Amino acid sequence: MNLPFNRRAVINMLVGLGLAALGAGAAAADPVKIGFLVKQAEEPWFQDEWRYAEQAAKEQNFTLIKIAVPNGEKMVNAIDNLAAQQAQGFVICAPDVKLGTAVVRAAKRGNLKVMSVDDRLLDGAGKPLAEVPHMGISAAEIGKQVGRGLLDEIKARGWALADVGAIRVAYDQLPTARERTMGTVEALLAAGFPVANIFDAPEAKPDTENAFNAANIVFTKQARFKHWIIFGSNDEAVMGGVRASEGRGFPAASVIGIGIGGSKTASIEFAKAQPTGFHASVLISPSATATRPR
């Protein structure tokens, strides 16, 4: 299942997992323990998920075990640790979706229920693991929202589409990231944006530094455009592209970057006295999704 993600959904998801675990054999008198494993515990998104999960734990009287799992080794160790603590199950956003089979194997070894959030787990063939329930937001729809925002601003600035270059800062290793950026591409093409004007800038990691390097290559090869739009899977990707445009001498008035996340990266940029090419961010959180323009 692929459900809308919101605060109540987090609570219902955790409670449902606990009840399923109890139904599978845990005695009603035993304390219910549920793990919540996330790949980037320092990120505001995951902090919010943990916060709402803690709310669920208090409301429904179960113990929440929060664990950061930045890599595969720590992930497997964390699952084994949950089993040692006699937990009934866990929710996970894995550090790599291709670790799906390892997640299922470790869960079965510890007799733990499991479900994924945010990034859907894949099997060895790269297909979604149907046996693992999943809850997430529509990455493609978020991308389309970015596309519509870019198109609205292009129109507001009076740019001709033929004169605009587009940089897709791409992190296609992660299906969710690809779905976001391809959703943007879909929205652009549907509005008549020239496909020949869209350029991929593959980044090695989804951060500002790698996005800067990737976008800089596109600017070097495609020097004919005076106007640019920049999009990626998160705020950091777009920020890297915007910084690369500045390094190439493009003024803020010639660049439109729209990120995803509504992160601290975006907030700091919006607080600057002088506007930059980072125009807006799509705010996503476990409690709301909305566009946040400068």
Q: Is the pLDDT of residue 11 over 70?
A: no
Q: Span 1-11, mean pLDDT?
A: 44
Q: Is the pLDDT of residue 126 over 80?
A: yes
Where does the pLDDT of residue 6 fall: very low under 50, low under 70, confident under 90, or very high at 90 and above? Answer: very low
Question: Which pLDDT does position 136 carry in this prediction?
Answer: 81
Place of tokens 């550090």: 95
Q: Which residue has better confidence, 293 or 75?
A: 75
Question: Which pLDDT does position 292 carry in this prediction?
Answer: 38
Average pLDDT of the chain is 88
Where does the pLDDT of residue 77 fall: very low under 50, low under 70, confident under 90, or very high at 90 and above? Answer: very high
Place of tokens 């970057």: 257
pLDDT in tens, 232-254: 999 999 999 999 999 999 999 99
Q: Span 107-121, mean pLDDT?
A: 93
Q: Span 106-111, mean pLDDT?
A: 96
Question: Which pLDDT does position 157 carry in this prediction?
Answer: 97
Q: Is the pLDDT of residue 148 over 50?
A: yes
Question: Which pLDDT does position 285 carry in this prediction?
Answer: 63
pLDDT in tens, 200-225: 999 998 899 999 999 999 999 999 99
CA distances from 35 to 25, 69, 99, 130, 182 (A): 17, 12, 18, 21, 33
Most confident of 16-30, 38-52, 59-73: 59-73
Q: What is the CA radius of gyration of the chain?
A: 21
Query: Of 27-41, 199-213, 261-275, 280-294, which gets the smallest average pLDDT?
Result: 280-294
Question: Which pLDDT does position 16 carry in this prediction?
Answer: 60
| Whole-model pTM over 0.85 | no
